[in-house]
Structure 1
């Protein structure tokens, strides 16, 4: 009988990787009902989808993860079988090793098999984050498709907007009279960019809607979160940093009608802080922020009404020079 884990073992050295590398021998006997989805931050972000079958984990790499709507199919690249022990693996595969990068358990649970054939696998997942009927089928070579057979997970989900024009502040000389009704941010004096992150590298557009370069790694840092961000690219060359100050869409929900204060709260919960991006700070004391901007050589500050939506006519953003 062929060694079903031979390919897996040939790509790994147990002295160099924390992954389980079992010795050749009889495969364990399970119930063929375990599944795991692992978020894998390798050279390219993807999700590893694994189903227990005949003593191994039959595996596919999903660049966009598991689809949550039957209208959208996702690519599933068939990879080598993995040992059952891999269902509990999470950790850092060293750089230079096969699949080097961080592995997190994104979801796991049990599944039922409706059909398992060479060209079609029908299953029902019972996980904490994913549940429902799915089918996988090959298209060409190792490329398969994974399709959701049940209704959408969120029937009322908003589609991700594709052409957001940023709200622009109006120039003012003085702070607002009702100072406590506004939040205050630094005006960074950089290039305004809207970022679109959809389970992969982020895409950027400038104020004119033209494509621009996004900071490498930002989309991957969001993982499975789908988001549209507003911010400014500051600095030059290798020192450029994307300062993020607004969140316009998150995981199937458009946030344009939410007040600025709520959007900032949701943005803060994402914890976006990386080598080329930061969540811009927001303050409640406009005078102190203005003085700090002057000391740091920044062009000014922006006052944003706390209860206003993201709408050019209603947002009431004010650019105040130092």
Structure 2
């Protein structure tokens, strides 16, 4: 084969790849192993170039995939922290391979060992309008159920782009998580409250106090003095993935239970852009329970309205230090030692050598 012939064949291959915008997508996937749609044909322009979808992707690290229909494919970006809700912050958006239009409705589990392995769910979907589309800048207006407004994606280098919200905040009343919060502390008492119907009771775990700030699928921690600390390995990313796009400030203890460190979560002081410091303890606990936070390294701690004597006896049977009584109508007082929370030592009938 002559050099001229080789050059022509290479140009033909390059032109074919340009025509087949799904070549990279197909090259990364085995249709016999993944449930993802893997069409055989090259992309054929169809539709109105107005479909968008945001998929929550629990891969090796949680992220959100923004996909926009354009010329017969879904042009895609991986957004590690999700779409920004306010123009005050820009989020990284990594341009990935084009996806087939069928992917706009895909939800499922990509098998381990396959590209992008992990659970994929649709976080939001709808239509969008194009204001500008170039190789370096994409301006759009999104119309979705969970997110809407004007956004711009702009290229910063290579596959890296940034996404910026151009409209005012989606929720003008939303407040960001505080940078630091010192947890509320109980006073020590020798006896349980007399009016037990006005109180709820939790186990005292005897662990290390940790406040968790969860946002954009990531978690950071502070200690009982509000100082930044490292969380146990793997806890932060997994807890962040459990909450997904919901920002939350959680209060709890890192306790040793049956030989394992478990983050026992017993309060929520900020959720979905709303501070809950003035919300009564009962309602905060109900909101915390509704999050259904339960994993190998974290659990929502139980709480028991009313019968403190039974909880105290149960704590003694488990070899725990005692109980914490909390008034059902009490707010959350950051950094304060409050009589609305009372630490009561274990029952005199406590059996030594119980589980810890």
User: Do both share a fold (TM > 0.5)?
Assistant: yes
Equivalent residues of 1:167, 1:315 under 8 A apart = no
Q: Is the 8 A contact 1:302 1:320 kept in 2?
A: yes
Residue 198 in structure 1 maps to residue 215 in structure 2: yes
Output the CA distance in 2 between the equivalents of 1:251 and 1:33.
Answer: 29
Structure 1 pair 238–127 and aligned structure 2 pair: CA distance change class (3 A): farther
- Per-residue displacement from partner, 1:219-267 (whole Å, max 9, x unpaired)? 1111001111000111179711111000011111111111111110110
Match of 1:305 among 327, 330, 345: 327
Q: 2:269 aligns with which of 248, 257, 260?
A: 248
The residue number in structure 1 matching 2:231 is: 213
User: Equivalents in 2 of 1:260, 1:236: separation in Å?
Assistant: 25
Structure 2 unmatched runs, 5+: 1-15, 347-356
- TM-score under structure 2 normalisation? 0.88
1:18 maps to which residue? 35
Q: Provide the residue aligned with 2:244 in structure 1.
A: 223
Displacement of 1:318:
0.3
Return closer, same or farther for 1:25/1:212 CA change in 2, 3 Å cut-off: closer
Counterpart pick for 1:176 among 193, 197, 200? 193
Unpaired stretches in structure 1, ≥5 consecutive residues: none
1:68: Cα distance to partner? 0.8
Report matched runs for 1:1-322 at 5 Å: 1=16, 2=18, 3-25=20-42, 27-208=44-225, 209-214=227-232, 215-216=235-236, 217-235=238-256, 239-284=260-305, 285-311=307-333, 312=336, 316-322=340-346
Q: Structure 1: how far apart are the matches of 2:312 and 2:240?
A: 32
Which residue pairs with 2:353 in the alignment?
none
Structure 1 residues 28-82: Cα deviation after superposition (integer angstroms, max 9, x where no partner): 4111010000000001110000000000000000001011101111111000000
TM-score, with structure 1 as normaliser: 0.97
**What displacement does 1:212 show?**
2.8
Aligned residue-pair number: 322
Runs of 4+ in 1 over 3 A off after TM superposition: none
CA distance in 1, matches of 2:122, 2:150: 21
Structure 1: how far apart are the matches of 2:339 and 2:100?
Answer: 54
Q: Aligned-pair RMSD on alpha carbons? A: 1.4
Query: For residues 47 and 237 of structure 1, do their structure 2 counterparts lie closer, same or farther at Cα, with a shift above 3 Å needed?
Result: farther
TM superposition shift of 1:314? 5.1
SS of match in other structure, 1:9: helix
CA contact (8 A) 2:21 2:42 kept: no
